[in-house]
Amino acid sequence: EKVLGIEGTAWSLSAAIVGWDKVYAEASNPYIPETGGIHPMVAAQHHATHIGEVIRKVIESGEEFDGVAFSQGPGLGPCLRTVATAARALSLAYDVPLIGVNHCVAHIEVGRWQTGCRDPVTLYVSGANSQVLAFRAGRYRIFGETLDIGIGNALDKFGRFIGLQHPGGPKIEALAREGKNYIHMPYVVKGMDLSFSGMMSAAKEAAAVHPKEDVCFSLQENAFAMLVEVTERAMAHTGKDECLIAGGVGANSRLQQMLDTMCKARGAKFYAPPKKYFGDNGSMIAYTGLLQLKHGMTLPVEDSAVNPCFRPDEVDIPWL
């Protein structure tokens, strides 16, 4: 059994054919803006231009597939619609079921697949999203999340402000390693939720008077401590002893280190997938498609509209 999956919620355009044992084929053509951030219409135009070649590459691997999965949301509307159109056409042409996948659920499932953890509290940190999730009563419930911007977008915006090319996250990580002095930043945890916008303003102000290495260091220490605090509280509340990191910002080694320290202190285990599975990729959509296909979670073409605000707790998780 194999599924062809297509991801294209924002910058990443990627297709893969995945079976239960491994990734059989994968091809990508990411949209990387030369200046500024991700413009939804320009990203969608990029996807429309390159989706044919990306899909052709995985099909030319000669692998067969029993379903076509696509990222149905959340994401940028124009990008989602471009990918969904291609997926519907493939499903009809090859006469295989169409599977709509929630992008956040896919980040969790590929992490569980790649690390072997079973029932974790997941810290999902990407550009647009910052959520703490855990399985309870049939679904991944959101225990805490950002009230304004995602941590990735916050880092990218600050990066642009100090002249770094998009995406700023990895470059800020490198600069932070050279930072020595902690500059006070607003630490905003409200119950189980987080807010990063005040911290962003403070970082921009600090950048005018402090070395950028120190500001990057302080930004990371502050934001990651907030994320780890909420993750730990979700673990204490649910009694779970596994912690999984997912999403593009999860590639950050300082964040991983802080989560690992927190887990060790409470006798829990920290799981991080191989680096390539943090950011958006077609394999995570294909693998989640495989799980859904097994449980009959497919879509008729006429009922396969995308959902830019699709939340993970709208999806039944019968396989856990």
User: Nearest-CB residue to ligand ATP?
Assistant: 248
Give every CB contact of residue 191 below 8 A, 6+ residues apart in sequence. Answer: 144
Q: Give residues in contact with Fe ion (CB under 5 A).
A: 126, 280
Q: Which is nearer to ligand ATP, 75 or 179 (CB)?
A: 75
Three-state DSSP class for 311? coil
Quote the DSSP letter at residue 108: H
Q: Which is nearer to ligand ATP, 65 or 70 (CB)?
A: 70
Q: Which is nearer to ligand ATP, 209 or 309 (CB)?
A: 309
Amino acid at 211: P
Q: Which is nearer to ligand ATP, 120 or 250 (CB)?
A: 250
Q: Give residues in contact with ligand ATP (CB under 6 A).
A: 9-11, 75, 103, 126-129, 150, 152, 155-156, 167-170, 173, 247-249, 251-252, 279-280
The rounded distance, in Å, linking the Cα atoms of 100 and 18 is: 16
User: Which does residue 152 touch among Fe ion, ligand ATP, none (CB within 5 to 8 A, set by kind)?
Assistant: ligand ATP
From the CB of 57, what's the least distance to ligand ATP, in Å?
A: 20
Tokens of 145: 């999340």
Quote the DSSP letter at residue 299: B
Q: Which is nearer to Fe ion, 111 or 120 (CB)?
A: 111
Amino acid at 178: E
Contact between residue 145 and residue 128 where contact means Cβ atoms under 8 Å apart: no
Q: Which is nearer to Fe ion, 109 or 280 (CB)?
A: 280
Contact between residue 150 and residue 128 where contact means Cβ atoms under 8 Å apart: yes
Give every CB contact of residue 299 below 8 A, 6+ residues apart in sequence. Answer: 97, 98, 99, 100
Report residue 172 CA to chain centroid gap. 18
- DSSP code string of 133-195: EEEETTEEEEEEEBSSS-HHHHHHHHHHHTTPPSP-HHHHHHHHHT---PPP----EETTEE-
Q: Which is nearer to Fe ion, 221 or 280 (CB)?
A: 280
Tokens of 228: 């780890």
Tokens of 105: 């659920």
Which alpha helices (H) appear in 239-281, and where do they start and end? Answer: 253-265
Q: Is 163 left (phi over 0), alpha (psi -120 to 50) or beta?
A: left
The rounded distance, in Å, linking the Cα atoms of 235 and 239 is: 6
Tokens of 129: 């999203």
From the CB of 144, what's the least distance to Fe ion, in Å?
A: 18
Contact between residue 282 and residue 14 where contact means Cβ atoms under 8 Å apart: yes
The rounded distance, in Å, linking the Cα atoms of 90 and 50 is: 15
Q: Which is nearer to ligand ATP, 96 or 215 (CB)?
A: 215
